[in-house]
Each structure stands twice: as C-alpha cells, then as structure tokens.
Structure 1
Amino acid sequence: MEKTMQMAMVYETLLCSPGMAESVKLDMRVSRKALLLLAASVESQLKGPAGSPAAVTDYFGVETVEELEKMISDMLLKSELSGLHSKLKTLQNG
C-alpha cells in the first residue's frame, strides 16, 4: 500500500510539472511490428481493472486516457494496421 501511495505522489508531481499539458510534435519511423505491439500493450493497460495496483491510468484524467486511445487508433490507421489489429483482438477475446 505504501508503494502505491509513493507512486501516486510521483505521478502527481510529474503531471503538475510545467509544460506537461503542451502538445509535442513527433516525427519518427517505427516498424509495423513494433507499432502493433505498442498498441496491444497500451490497450491492455487501459482496459485493465480500475484500482488494480498496475493500473497507471488511475493517476491520469479521463481526457488523457481518451487522448492516448485516439493516438493509438490514429497510428494504426496511418500504418494500415487497424483491420489486422481488430482481428487479433477478436481472436484474443474469442
């Protein structure tokens, strides 16, 4: 429990730092394999049970989580992986 409180304090401190709400433009090249793994990893963390010790999303607001979900969706669309990603999710859940 103490470690959870410490992590909450760290995230709260980081999120209150100057400039954290500013937009950042990224220009990077990533393999489709890495992008698919990133999307799956982020989604699994976002869909985790709220309140669980590993749920980092508990420290962020709903707007930030929605922004992250949209960013992942946009990256999958731009890389033409959204169809494959949704089929993999169907296989995983079914």
Structure 2
Amino acid sequence: MATTTDISLIYETLLCSPGMSEQIKVDLRVSRKSLLFLAACVENELSGKNDPGLGLVGYFGEQTVKELEKLVSDSLSKADLSALNEKLKGLS
C-alpha cells in the first residue's frame, strides 16, 4: 500500500509534467442523472466532507479548484439543472 509521501510524490510529478496546464476541449455527453451525481461528488470533495485523509484537493492548487468549480457550474447550467442541484444541496 502506498504511503501518503509516495502519493504526494506521484501527484507532484504528474502535475508538473509538460502540458498539464494547457487548455483542452472535451465533448462530454452524459445523462442528467450522471451529471447531478458527478456534481455532488466534486462538491463533496472540494468542501472536505469526504475522508480528510485523502486530501487530493491540496495537490492541485487554488486555481485548479476554481476551474473545476466553474466546470461543474457551467455543466449544470447547460443542462438546466442548477436550480435542482441547489435544492438538492439544501436537503442535505
């Protein structure tokens, strides 16, 4: 089993590889149900509600976290799910 130090070294190595900061275009086609699930997973991870021992968010930096939050928000807006997502978050 990999230690926290090993995982940290792997992420640091991958994230400083050439081209990791370049913008890419992704054609994403998923069901609305899957998009809501993905948004909930991302929001839970970014808010720290999941296992704090994982701590993957810390490896990516503030700018990457903001980009991911914007990606989720934009995806929900395009699928007309923003209001539903907010109401679901209010229930939990």
**TM-score over 0.5 for the pair:** yes
User: Superposition pairs for residues 82-93 of structure 1, below 5 Å?
Assistant: 82-92=82-92
1:55 and 2:58 matched: no
Match of 1:26 in 2: 26
1:28 Cα deviation after fit: 2.4
State the distance in 1 between where 2:82 and 2:16 align: 34
State the distance in 1 between where 2:43 and 2:5 align: 24
TM-score by length of 2: 0.92
Match of 1:10 in 2: 10
1:18 aligned partner, one-letter code: P
Match of 2:79 in 1: 79
- Contact 1:57–1:65 under 8 Å retained in 2: yes
2:84 aligned partner, one-letter code: L
Match of 2:42 in 1: 42
Deviant stretches of 4+, over 2 Å = none
Identity %: 54
- Helix, strand or coil for the counterpart of 1:60? helix
Mean Cα displacement is larger for which, 36-45 or 21-30?
21-30
State the distance in 1 between where 2:28 and 2:73 align: 17
Gapped regions of structure 2 (runs ≥ 5): none
2:40 aligned partner, one-letter code: A
TM-score by length of 1: 0.90
1:89 aligned partner, one-letter code: K
1:21 aligned partner, one-letter code: S
